[in-house]
Amino acid sequence: MRPNIEAVLAQKPDLVLQLAGRKEASLPVEALRRHGINVAVFHASTFAELFSVIRRVGALTGAEPQAEAMVRGMEARLSALDARLAAFPQRPRVFFEVRSPNMLAAGQGGLVAEIIRRAGGVNCVADTAKFSRLSEEEIIRLAPEAYIIQRGPMNPAPLPLTSRPRLRAIPAAASGRAWFVDEQKYSRPGPQSIDAAEELAALLHPGIPAPAKGRATDYNHTKSKDK
């Protein structure tokens, strides 16, 4: 839904947060600012940016210690993931499908690319943009070894890779390394992005040890549903 400025104003908020998106999405921001509302627009296409966003939100809401603890916890899980992946030198070529049909792939410019990298894979799409409209023939040329299909509002009813005859020529189809994942977890930057990296690591490297228990704090609310 588009934000209704009147409804936002009626809440008399002290602060409005917005995740940077399409250009049109910044129009209501200007309107809110004209009404004297504080609007903070965040951009998070890497984990480093995500951490700085969490810290800034903590500062803006007077919850700096909690924010710091959250970031520390996430950083710790990422380094633990790195350590666990050390024993797995292979870096499979991963293709991340944002939307199909009218294929849209994750490029190098978004958090998904970093999730893939931290999960021990290589995003085979070289495009530096966040998304890339690719032809099927280009996917075959890229020859991904793993094919990740996100499922969610942007990709409401994707077909499994086994039902796509033209992609049978890619290694991922031959090896069966194709999975559905939750769009909310992968394409919405946030604490659950760490879950995404851990989940993807487990998919790409089946022998990897499970993450240590007890680390997950209250922000770990999403459960992986689509395995």
Partner 1 sequence: MTAKAGDDRAKPRDRNSGIRGAKALWIALICAASLASALIACGLGSFPSTPGQTLNALLGALGFATARPVDPALSVVVVDIRLARVALAWLTGASLATAGCVFQGVLRNPLADAFTLGVSGGAAFGASVAIIFGFAGGAIADSLGGLGGGTGILPLFALAGALLALAAVLALGRIGGGGMRRETIVLAGIVVSTFLSALISLLKSLDEESVSSIVFWIMGSFQGRGFEHVRLALPYMAVGLALVLWRARELDLLALGEGQARLLGLDAGRSRLWLLIGASLLSGAAVAVSGVIGFVGLVVPHLLRLVLGAGHRTLLPASALLGGLLLLWSDVLARSVLPGGAELPVGVVTALIGGPFFCLLLGRKSQGAA
**Residues 175 and 145: beta-carbon distance below 8 Å:** yes
Q: Least distance in Å: CB of 197 to partner 1?
A: 24
Based on CB atoms, which residue is closest to partner 1, 166 or 215?
166
Distance in Å, CB of 98 to partner 1, minimum: 9
- Residue 182: closest CA among 125, 120, 224: 224
Instruction: Give me the least distance between CB of 152 and partner 1, in Å please.
Output: 8
Is residue 136 within 8 A of residue 167, CB to CB? The reply is yes
CB of 153 to partner 1, least distance (A): 3
105/194 with CB nearer partner 1:
105
Q: How far is the CB of 20 from partner 1 (least distance, A)?
A: 15
> Residues 131-156, buried b or exposed e (16+ Cβ, 10 A)?
bbebeeeebeebebbbbbbbbbeebe
Interacting residues toward partner 1 by CB under 8 A: 1-2, 99-104, 126-127, 132-143, 153-159, 163, 165-166, 168-170
Nearer to partner 1, 35 or 168 (CB): 168
Closer to partner 1 by Cβ: residue 36 or 153? 153
Which residue, 107, 111, 104, 99, is CA-closest to 43? 111
Q: Quick check: bond before 156 cis, omega within 30? A: no
Residue 217 tokens read as 């704090």
| Residue whose CB is less far from partner 1, 174 or 212 | 174
